[in-house]
Amino acid sequence: MYRLFVRLVDRLPLPSLRFQILAALAVVLTQAGIAVTGSVVRVTASGLGCPTWPQCFPGSFTPVQHSEVEAIHRAVEFGNRMLTFLVVLTAAVIVIAVTRARRRYEVRVYAWLMPVSTVVQAVMGGITVLTGLLWWTVAIHMLLSMGMVWLSVLLLEKVREPDDGEAVAVVPAPLRWLAALSAALMTGVLIAGTMVTGAGPHAGDKSIDKPVPRLKIEITTLVHLHADLLIAYLSVLVALGFALFAVGAPARLKKRLYVVIGIVTAQALVGVTQYVTDIPAALVVIHVAGAGATVAATAALWVAMRPRQATTGSTSSDQPVEAAAASQP
């Protein structure tokens, strides 16, 4: 089956490296973007605007007039579902592009993870709807989206790297472990954030006769947990910054760390503002967008610590891609 796919793909023009990078960037943007639109669904209480899955309403894949579902909720939820097709399209384009260009095995694996993870996420979305927006299903749905953002950033970086090089650590191993610790703390921050949402006012639906079950933990306790983990995360990032200066890390790596620290600081300010203003809907959407940006920036920092560098005499132009495509069946 895969050989047939390759033969069909080989009928297409050879994609340039620039095209591959743009396709990979589109994957990052769509994966992060659909998480943001998902938050819009939640804060507008449109989570059950399409009450069934995979159909929108029983017997129809598109919204139909329904006395119990307002038109705005139907439109918002259906619009979010339609964005899935854009996610699928970008995932398909990158798979086809790297396959046609005969990129190295690692790149093709990361590319195939995009459509596979999209299917998993779609199924999880269906479970979320069919269980009536149970808070933990919404949490898993969100965390999967953030995981896909992480993978898509790694894909983008792998596409940019030369195929004929080898991975070289640009900082000592202890600093890479420190970066891994920061990523683990970031994950803890995300998990705690979904728990805050699970106990908060934005349940995703406002049905009076069948209210959405919420997490039965005092929200103030969860907010403090979320904030404490964020402080720990930011502290590790600052420590990593001092360490990078001490070892004379490349400027590119330090710039990426500055971006992460800047985004995390902005996220903290948004979170504090949410807390003192009773969690307005607009700030929830901004906070989710910031979460996606945090994950993307942290992933970019992590992968830059052990980049794949070209061997002597090779370049970063389209030539290595074209040569690889020409040399493989």
Do 88 and 195 lie in one domain? The reply is: no
Predicted confidence (pLDDT) per residue in 295-317, tens digit: 999 999 999 999 988 776 544 44
* Residues spanned by the domain of 122: 1-164+311-329
Q: Residues 99, 188: one domain?
A: no
The answer to whether residue 323 scores a pLDDT higher than 60 is no
Residues 6+ apart with CB under 8 A from 114: 27, 31, 90, 91, 94, 95, 148, 151, 152, 155
End-to-end distance of the chain based on CA atoms, in angstroms?
16
In the chain, how many domains are there?
Answer: 2
Q: Are residues 10 and 152 in the same domain?
A: yes
Condensed to tens digits (0 to 9), the pLDDT of residues 225-270 reads: 999 999 999 999 999 999 999 999 999 999 999 999 999 999 999 9
pTM of the model: 0.88
Closest Cα partner for 152 from 293, 266, 42? 293
Residue 135 shares a structural domain with residue 185: no
CB 302 within 8 A of CB 179: yes
Amino acid, single-letter form, for residue 30:
T
Verify that 150 and 186 share a domain, yes or no.
Answer: no
Question: Is 154 in the same domain as 23?
Answer: yes
* DSSP state letter for 277: T
| Locus of tokens 């504090």 | 272
65 and 52 housed in the same domain: yes
- Same domain for 128 and 206, yes or no, is no
